[in-house]
Structure 1
Amino acid sequence: MERNKTYYYDISRRFLSVVGQWPYQKPKTRLFFLTFVFIFLINALVTQIAEIFVCKNIDCIFEVLPFHFLMFNIGVKVLTYRFKSKKIKLLTDHLFADWDSLETREEREILKKYAERGRRYALIYSLYLYLSSIIFILTALGPRVLDVLFPLNASRPVTLVYPAYYFVDEEKYFYYIFCNMMMIMLICLAGLIAHDSMFFTYIEHVCGLFAVIGFRFERIIYKRDITKKSLIDCPNNVYHKQIVFSIHAHRQALQFAKLIENVFSISFAIQLIVDTITISITLVQLSMQLHNLTEATRCMLYIFAQLFHLFCFSFQGQKLINHSLETRDKIYNGAWYELPVKEQKLLLIVMRKSIEASSVTACKIYIFSLQNFTTVLQSAMSYFMMLASFSA
């Protein structure tokens, strides 16, 4: 039984609906869920800023900043979908409409494969982040559990989920604060996953479009398996119509990729800067907490989550680059030499467009790719060495 096309986007749809960013929600429903998320987000930001003001040294500030930047980035992600809502709706409309433009079962299977892959990426991404966050949250309960299992003469120091100042006695109201922080982490994380999983869906979709277009160009000239008769004897306008239709589809795929770039470019620039600084500061924290197994584990979990976050963006950016460039190779691998000269010239137009790779950038400065991912790691290490010298 063939699945409905909405099945492939249900994970992204559910997360976007939770944070009030699904394009087809009613305006009042979107505003309600968005307000609900921002109440928790502002709660986290205010208490973290309060903690910075009561800090007495630079080490304390370094401990607060990574989580403050995380909440800041989540706010950027959620607001991106809010301020770009019209373009997001346009992207999503094309997402569903492109299924109806497919001509054959083979083309549908190609797009279905990419849609299934996008759904799988969204599922793995959300599971990884939530599992890491749950483990991270539970480490805050470690001292309390040890007080019950292996009590000491004095209670162990209170460890919160993340550094924050609640203007009350943390020892007395620990469980209330813990529950509040746990709710903040789980709800705000939904905003992060909603933004990223839909981005993965868009990238996989446009890669699927490029794959379908390449499939069409490779098979413009073919031989029937039954009759073994070449289609070369068909009228020239048959080839012309097929090529013009494929060129139009290629142009739409390029426009879809440019629209993705337009929606996420500024947001990604902010996130990239913040993530690089965050990784550097967390490395400083890790170097200072090596003697404390619990804190060192928390730092490592946070660093791995940040690296995984950046790697997923770089991986998707690399896929878009590769698929946009593969179109020219697929045209060359087809039987273009059997086409009339007029149609061969039309193929040159597509090949010229395919020389320039489609990409996702941060304000046209940084291109998300696997090669540039290593550059970000090198930059983070450089900042880490500089910050470590200040905290020494």
Structure 2
Amino acid sequence: MMCITEYFNLNRTLLLTIGLWPYQQSKLDRLRFIFFLGILTTAILFQFTTFFNSKCTADFVVKILSSALFFSTFVIKYIFFAINAKSIKDLLTQLQYVYDQLKDECENAIVEKYNSNAKHYMIVLTAFGICGISVLIIAQLWPNIIAVISPMNVSQVRRLPIMTEYFIDQEKYFSFILLHLNAAFCIGMTVVVATGTMLIAYLEHICGLFKISSYRIECAMRVILFQNIQPKNDTLMLKEIRYAVDIHRQAMKLSKTMVSKFEAMLFCLIAIGVISLSLNLFQIFQIISNRDNNISEILFPSVLVFISILYMFFANYIPQNVTDHNDHVFVTVYNVQWYIAPLYVQKLMLFMLQRNVREFTLGVGGLFVGSLECFATLVKASVSYFTVIYSTQ
């Protein structure tokens, strides 16, 4: 069995980039964290400073909040993950302890399979992040590219992707302001992908533990089917079931512990995410309905909407996957021929079946339960809020 950090090599690379890898916290990492946090924080601050020099109409407030709240999710994830760096290290240590108790190659193969799944998730989400950043940067540079290809006598007005107020000549320092905003977006997307894929990878390994529990139950029952029921085999079967129950219990404990450590962060992200999605949907419809606006302005809120929906989906799909794997353990118990086992083994199996009466879910504050149903509810709520805002115009 490999060291647990070897399973998180790709995650380690991204987290090191933003100074959040829990096993290496040097002074350089802390300086990098402060520097990146400063860029993210000032990007939000200079969006809110527009209220000082502009009339606060409803449309103006919506336009500022739609982007500022989205950027706020970057800061929330960055700060909360930094605060819980030690907790992440402890969770990985506990997972390593469980893996050290694995007994055969089949169980190791299960771990490798789910580790591969985690890497696939990371590659896909990283690709989405790179595409999102690339689209926005190309869109900003496109007018310059067109100007080089087909020069025009009329000078084009340069516009920032979002409204900001730096209290300087924005036309003169346009390139520096644009660089600051793009740097903040790139850092923020790196934070979202790095922290999100780390949590996804951990929960995928938890799914692997549930799968190992199912495998051990099947192995225990195989003793009955392929061997004579003797006291020695009874003891072996009982031992296997005890191992299955123990790893199932540890899987539930580790997943619940992880969610509890990030419960405040998840609650803030849900609330801000729903509001931000609603406001950006409103922004898109405002731009479409107003012919005076440049249609290119629709790109930035569209990217934010896509990222928000994608994040909500994975934030609910992975906990749903954990719940499904837990349910599969009890499906396995139902399907094996436990009724031909000795009486004391039957009692143990019935105890496991009774445990399934209480559904195992990963929730936030008792209000949100990670599931595809919750994803649909959040999207529906966002669309409902958008409809209310749009109907008041």
TM-score where L is the length of structure 1: 0.92
8 A contact 1:40–1:188 mirrored in 2: no
- Give the match for residue 170 of structure 1: 170
Find the counterpart in structure 2 of residue 191 from structure 1. 191
Aligned to 1:310: 312
SS at match of 1:247: helix
Instruction: Tell me if 1:369 matches 2:371.
Output: yes
Which of 235, 252, 273 aligns to 1:275? It is 273
Matches within 5 A, 1:206-285: 206-222=206-222, 229-235=226-232, 236-285=234-283
1:155 correspondence with 2:155: yes
Question: In the TM superposition, what are the counterparts of 1:26-45 in structure 2 within 5 Å?
Answer: 26=25, 28-45=27-44
Alignment of 1:1-392 (within 5 A): 6-26=5-25, 28-56=27-55, 57-222=57-222, 229-235=226-232, 236-290=234-288, 291=291, 292-390=294-392, 392=393
Change (3 A) 1:379 1:237: same
1:44-83 CA distances to partner (integer Å, 9 max, x unpaired)? 1221111243333332332222221122111111222222
In the alignment, the residues of structure 2 paired with residue 295 and residue 382 of structure 1 have an alpha-carbon distance, to the nearest angstrom, of: 24
Q: Which whole-Å deviations, capped at 9, do the CAs of 1:304-363 have from their partners, x for residues lacking one?
A: 111111111111121011111111111121231232111221222322333333322221
| Cα offsets for 1:163-192 (capped at 9, x unmatched) | 222222222222222222222221222211
Cα distance in structure 2, aligned partners of 1:71 and 1:46: 10
Q: CA contact under 8 A between 1:314 and 1:373: conserved in structure 2?
A: yes
Distance 1:53 1:98, change over 3 A: farther
Shift of 1:200: 0.4
- The answer (yes or no) to whether the contact 1:206–1:257 under 8 Å persists in 2 is yes
The verdict on how the C-alpha distance between 1:239 and 1:386 changes in structure 2, with shifts beyond 3 A counting, is same
Q: Shift of residue 216 of structure 1?
A: 0.8
Per-residue deviation at 1:155? Answer: 2.4
For the residue of structure 2 that corresponds to 1:157, the secondary structure is coil
Query: Which range moved further: 272-281 or 338-347?
Result: 338-347
Contact 2:283 2:301 in 1 (8 A): yes
Q: After TM superposition, give the deviation of residue 3 of structure 1 in Å.
A: 8.2
Bigger shift: 96-105 or 37-46? 96-105
- 3-state SS of paired residue (1:347): helix
CA distance in 2, matches of 1:386, 1:53: 28
| Distance change in 2, residues 1:190/1:376 (3 Å) | same
Tell me by how many angstroms 1:375 deviates. Answer: 1.1
Deviates more, 1:25-34 or 1:180-189: 25-34
Change (3 A) 1:266 1:136: same
Alpha-carbon distance in 2 for matches of 1:244, 1:18: 42
Q: Please tell me whether the aligned partners of residues 50 and 165 of structure 2 are also in contact (alpha carbons under 8 angstroms).
A: yes
TM norm structure 2 = 0.91
Question: Which amino acid is 1:369 matched to?
Answer: S
Query: For each residue in 1:229-250, what CA deviation from the matched residue of structure 2 results, as whole angstroms up to 9, or x when unmatched?
Result: 5252352222222222221111
Deviates further, 126-135 or 353-362: 353-362
Deviating more after overlay: 50-59 vs 105-114: 50-59
Structure 2 residue matching 1:241: 3-state secondary structure: helix
Q: Distance in 1 between matches of 2:62 and 2:195?
A: 27
Structure 2: runs of 5 or more not aligned:
none
Q: How far 1:150 sits from its partner (Å)? A: 4.2
Cα RMSD over matched residues? Answer: 2.2
Identity of aligned residues (%): 25
* Counterpart Cα distance in 1 of 2:44 and 2:91: 31
2:216–2:243 CA contact under 8 A, matched in 1: no
Question: Structure 2 counterpart of 1:264, which letter?
Answer: F
Shifted more, 271-280 versus 90-99: the winner is 90-99
**Contact 1:328–1:355 at 8 Å: present in 2 too?**
no
CA distance in 2, matches of 1:280, 1:136: 21
Question: Which range moved further: 124-133 or 75-84?
Answer: 75-84
Q: Which is further off, 342-351 or 206-215?
A: 342-351
How far did 1:7 drift? 4.4
How many equivalent residue pairs?
387
Structure 1: which 5+ residue stretches go unaligned?
Answer: none
Q: Residue type matched to 2:263 in 1? A: S
Q: CA deviation at 1:213?
A: 0.3
